[in-house]
Amino acid sequence: MFSEKNAKAGVTFPTGFKAAGVRAGIKKSGNLDLAVIYTEKEAAVAGVFTQNAVAAAPVYVSQEAVKSGTAHAVVANAGCANACTGEQGRKDAEAMASMAAKELGCKAEDVLVASTGVIGVNLPMDRVEQGIRQAVSELSETGSQNAGNAIVTTDTYSKACATEVEIGGKSVRFGAIAKGSGMIQPNMATMLCFITTDAAIESSLLQEALSEITEVTFNMISIDGDMSTNDMAVVLANGAAGNPVIREKNEDYRKFFDTLLAICTGLAQHIAADGEGATKFLTIDVKHARSFEEAKAVGMSVAKSPLVKTAFFGEDPNWGRVICAVGYAGVPMTPEKTVVEFGGIPVYAHGVGAKYDEEALRKVMSEHDIVITVDMGDGDSEATVWSCDFSYEYVKINGEYHT
C-alpha cells in the first residue's frame, strides 16, 4: 500500500491541497527552510506529539489547534527548534500561526505550527514573516517537494509518498512528507510528519486512527535513544474526494485505516534507514513474547544498544551483545527458550551460541538491510522495531551539530 510512485506529489497529491517551500534565511546553509501546506476547504485534523516534558513552543500551539478538530494549514520551519525559549518562544509560535492565517485568509486557530533545529535559540521572526509571505505567494499543486526539502535538518533526503485507494465508491488520495534522521526515540522521534488526504472522515475517528497507528509505527523506531522536544505527526482530511463521511468503524474506515497504516509504516522505516550516518537498516523482530509491551521492550533494548549498533556497523556478528540487550530489557525471559537469528541464521539458541555457516553469516552482515529475530519462546505476541547502526559519521554529525 505504501507507494513512492507519486512521491514527488506528496502532500499535494490529494485534491485541494497546495504547498510551498522557500528560503527564509533561518538555516545558516541557505537551503530551503520554511514550508506551508494549505487546503482552502476546511479539513478534519488529528495529531500526535512528543511526550518529552520539555516540549517546544510550536507543540503547545499545534496541540491547541488539533483540539478544535479542524484546520486549514501547517506552517513549519527548519534550522531553529524554538524550544526552551520561554514566553517569547510561545509568542513567536503563535505569531507564526497568525502571520500564516492573515496571508491565507483563515483563522490563526486553524493553522498548525512546527519547528525543528537547534534548541535554545529564538526564531528570527523578521525572516520567518518574510518567508511565510513568500511561501503563501508560491503555493501550488506541485509544491510538495520543496515543502519536504524545507523541513529537513540532518536528513540525507526528504521522506515522501502518495497513494490512491477506493473508499465508498470514490477515488481517495493520500500524500505525505516527513523528516527525521537523528534524536530518534519514541515516543515519537525528532520527526515532523504531515499527511494529507481528500477523504471525508470525522475528526474524532481520524484522531483515534492516528493514535492507534502511531503506537505500531512511529513509536517503534529508534536511531539513538534520544527523544526530541519538537516531534509531531499530523493528518489533514479535507473531504474533497466526496466519499460518504466516515462516521463509524465500518468497511470504509478499515480501508482508510489500512492505507494510513501503510503510509506511516513506510515513513517510519525510511526515517530509521536514514539515521544520521547510518550504513545499515536494522529490523528487530521479536516473536513469541507474553505481550506486545514486553516484545516492544525487548526490541527497543536491542535497537538502543550502542554495542549492538557499532557491531553491525563493523559487520561483526557479535550475538553476545544482542542477547545481553535482551537480558537487561526488564522483561522476564528464559535463556534456554530464547533463540536469536541474524538474517534467518540462528546465532544463539537455548542458552548457548549456535553453530553456523560463517560465509553465509558474513554475507548477511555485509548487507544494508538486516533482520535480527529474537524468539522469546514464551507466548503468542510479537513486535517489530526499526533502527540502524552507529557509524563514525554519526559522532561527527552530532559533535559538530551546534556549530
pLDDT digits (tens, 9 = 90+) for 278-288: 789 999 999 99
Asked if 384 and 333 sit in the same domain, the reply is yes
Asked if 259 and 333 sit in the same domain, the reply is no
Asked if 73 and 105 sit in the same domain, the reply is yes
Is residue 120 included in any domain, yes or no?
A: yes
Task: Look up residue 248 and give its DSSP letter.
Answer: S
CATH of the domain at 40: 3.60.70.12
Phi and psi of 331, rounded to 5°?
Answer: -115, 130
CATH of the domain at 330: 3.10.20.340
Q: In whole angstroms, give the CA distance from residue 214 to residue 188.
A: 8
The pLDDT value given to residue 40: 97
Is residue 171 included in any domain, yes or no?
A: yes
Determine which one of 153, 190, 338, 384 is catalytic.
190
Asked if 249 and 285 sit in the same domain, the reply is no
Asked if 331 and 215 sit in the same domain, the reply is no
Please calculate the CA angle 5-36-191 and round it to the nearest 5 degrees: 70
The grid coordinates of residue 382 equal: 510479537
Say how many residues make up the chain.
403
Q: In whole angstroms, give the CA distance from residue 328 to residue 375.
A: 16
Instruction: Please name every residue paired with 117 in a beta bridge, in sequence order, or none if there are none.
Output: 79
Asked if 267 and 336 sit in the same domain, the reply is no
Asked if 293 and 193 sit in the same domain, the reply is no
The pLDDT value given to residue 2: 52
The pTM of this model reads 0.89
Q: What is the dihedral of CA 68, 22, 401, 268, to 10 degrees?
A: 50
Tens of pLDDT, residues 91-129: 999 999 999 999 999 999 999 999 998 889 999 999 999
Is residue 36 included in any domain, yes or no?
A: yes
Is 283 one of the annotated active-site residues of the chain? no
Is residue 93 included in any domain, yes or no?
A: yes
- Helix, strand, or coil here: 372? strand
The pLDDT value given to residue 399: 61
What's the number of domains the chain is made of?
A: 2
Q: Which of 240, 273, 306 is the last residue of a domain?
A: 273
Asked if 295 and 232 sit in the same domain, the reply is no
Burial 53-80 (b: 16+ CB within 10 A, else e): eebbbbbbbbeebbeebbbbbbbbbbbb
Q: Which of 244, 273, 302 is the last residue of a domain?
A: 273
Closest CA to 259 of 200, 179, 175: 175
Residue 172 has pLDDT above 50, yes or no: yes
Asked if 88 and 223 sit in the same domain, the reply is yes
Task: Look up residue 169 and give its DSSP letter.
Answer: T
User: If you write DSSP's letter for every residue of 327-365 in order, what string do you get?
Assistant: HTSSS---GGG-EEEETTEEEEETTEEPP--HHHHHHHH
Task: Look up residue 108 and give its DSSP letter.
Answer: G
Q: In whole angstroms, give the CA distance from residue 334 to residue 354.
A: 17
Residue 4 has pLDDT above 90, yes or no: no
Residue 7 has pLDDT above 50, yes or no: yes
Could you tell me the residue range of the domain that residue 193 belongs to? 10-273
The H helix count followed by the E strand count for the chain is: 11, 14
Residue 182 has pLDDT above 50, yes or no: no
Q: How sure is the predictor about 13, in pLDDT bands with cuts at 50, 70 and 90?
A: very high
The pLDDT value given to residue 226: 54
Is residue 368 included in any domain, yes or no?
A: yes
Asked if 93 and 166 sit in the same domain, the reply is yes
The grid coordinates of residue 403 equal: 556549530
Work out the angle between the directed axes of helices 292-304 and 319-327 (0-180°, nearest 10): 130
Work out the angle between the directed axes of helices 86-104 and 57-67 (0-180°, nearest 10): 50
Is residue 5 included in any domain, yes or no?
A: no
The grid coordinates of residue 126 equal: 523578521
Instruction: Kindly report the average pLDDT of the chain as a whole number.
Output: 91
Is residue 2 included in any domain, yes or no?
A: no
Q: Which of 273, 294, 323 is the last residue of a domain?
A: 273
Asked if 216 and 253 sit in the same domain, the reply is yes
Tens of pLDDT, residues 185-209: 444 335 899 999 999 999 999 999 9
Q: How does strand 34-49 pair with strand 17-22? A: antiparallel
Query: Which has more pLDDT, 15 or 119?
Result: 15
Is residue 253 included in any domain, yes or no?
A: yes
Asked if 140 and 61 sit in the same domain, the reply is yes
